[in-house]
Structure 1
């Protein structure tokens, strides 16, 4: 319980620090935020009216506390460019971005563990060199460029999937679970392959270190092959470094959706953020960035809890 409370306290303090950093970065931009939103040709009266509407006539600390109170209530204000509540916009777009990131993360874990286990099982042989060569190639390929290649191959050439767009999750509107997942498959692969290349190399290194442990030699002495010993015992003991890196990679996947959603014209959170920046909709930008930061911190919080569950020694050191 002490371990959980300490991790929860760190999470709350980090969220508070992130909110202050996000608010300050956008609030202290050079120039008048209302003038930035309205444009340089807007009349002064309109700029002054918008400044009062946004509360810019109040001190910064007052506006920051008002924003925190709105976050606690779920009232994020109105989007200037969309004329709709920001909370509704974020909720609608998150229904696409979060499944996309989770699907990409699942593909990343499956591909990376399989590749890392195969390379470690065939250390120094053709299979090992092949996997390491492919991961080196994956590290060099940007996800947006890979996404465009996937569109050209599977949408334009083979016509197996649509080049972009999202039908939605509701069957009433012509979508559904399978059409939605089908539309997210290529973007998820484009995001996953780059991250899987990184995780596969870490998985191989961790498994090779574990293969030298005494319990692994005992497993081999009992008749298990190198592959079987690594699969049954090695992967579980390599979980902690892989979980740590996986949590960091989820942050990269969320950031990568901003580009990938524009490549595949997906109406997700990343595309909303890009449009909000183009439209100078600072209210949407501020709350959207805060949401992304909160998601990353929550994932890292979950990773910390999994660390304590996998290795009770971590909990013991924290509670001591």
Structure 2
């Protein structure tokens, strides 16, 4: 069997096993939470008979192993059940909110990579000079600034003072009868939240990019490039960036998980109707069906991205394609 196919099969088996383990942990963690969803929905004044009737209606009276197997079977069929709080299919709710959260995370990731690569290359090509110290100082500041606080500062500056964008809300990806919404207004609404997420995450990636480029600059092929007449900056840009991609891909895959987790706070700061805000509302209402499926969706997205990062590693490092890597 070719090495690439064998690697892909092993990655798929690991992906399925991780998803199974994650589903069991998510279900068990939510089962151990104190309180009763039926009691919370009916209120403190509800009678025990009413609580028992609603628990039976929601299926909460069945044994936990049975409910777990029913949940996993529903996931395999593409069914996530009904929300306890809203009484609508969870799959539709998550799909509607994911149409905002996923573009937000992808836009934030694109900004993170662009900022980190530019800043890392700038610092590495000016090692020991003022540009290097400036980038490292700003990245240290970015590591210390919370994303939600940065989001509020961006709102105050660009929405309240300059009035270039709206302070919050999302008009939708399609225009309504009043002409509100569309692709461009939607992207404008996501720009500040994505920037608030990206500035924090790019601080980490810029430092790693600088270190990787400085390490690559000591390689023999970089000295050969310099001997052919390329400047240090041009050699780093044309030849160094690709060879520095491997640690950047690894950290970038982990940062995407942080971006997805950060959307829970950022969406509440900017009043965006995404998965993060839905999860916050579901936790407050103890809507465990929404919480369970929402967390599982986030886990699946992160695992799929990690699998994609492995494939990109094989593209960036020829040793992984030929099987000669350690």
- Give the TM bin, normalised by the shorter chain: over 0.9
**What is the Cα deviation at residue 280 of structure 1?**
1.2
Instruction: Name 2:235's counterpart in structure 1.
Output: 229
CA contact (8 A) 1:3 1:318 kept: no
Pairwise CA RMSD = 1.6
Alpha-carbon distance in structure 2 between the residues aligned to 1:319 and 1:226: 29
**What is the Cα deviation at residue 32 of structure 1?**
3.8
**What is the Cα deviation at residue 73 of structure 1?**
1.3
User: Normalization by structure 1: what TM-score?
Assistant: 0.96
**What is the Cα deviation at residue 198 of structure 1?**
0.4
**What is the Cα deviation at residue 55 of structure 1?**
2.0
CA deviation string 1:25-44 (max 9, x = no partner): 00122344433454433221
**What is the Cα deviation at residue 152 of structure 1?**
0.5
Within 5 A, what are the aligned runs for 1:71-86?
Answer: 71-86=75-90
**What is the Cα deviation at residue 310 of structure 1?**
1.9
SS of 2:81 mapped into structure 1: coil
Greater CA drift, 42-51 or 59-68: 42-51
Given the alignment, which residue of 254, 258, 263 partners 2:264?
Answer: 258
Are 2:300 and 1:275 equivalent residues in the alignment? no
SS of 1:87 mapped into structure 2: helix
Instruction: Name 1:101's counterpart in structure 2.
Output: 105
Are 2:314 and 1:305 equivalent residues in the alignment? no
User: Normalization by structure 2: what TM-score?
Assistant: 0.95
Are 2:224 and 1:218 equivalent residues in the alignment? yes
Alpha-carbon distance in structure 2 between the residues aligned to 1:27 and 1:217: 60
What is the number of equivalent residue pairs in this alignment? Answer: 320
SS of 1:78 mapped into structure 2: coil
Alpha-carbon distance in structure 1 between the residues aligned to 2:22 and 2:154: 36
Gaps of 5+ in 1: none
**What is the Cα deviation at residue 54 of structure 1?**
2.6
Alpha-carbon distance in structure 2 between the residues aligned to 1:214 and 1:48: 74
Gaps of 5+ in 2: none
Greater CA drift, 286-295 or 47-56: 47-56
**What is the Cα deviation at residue 318 of structure 1?**
9.2
Are 2:297 and 1:291 equivalent residues in the alignment? yes
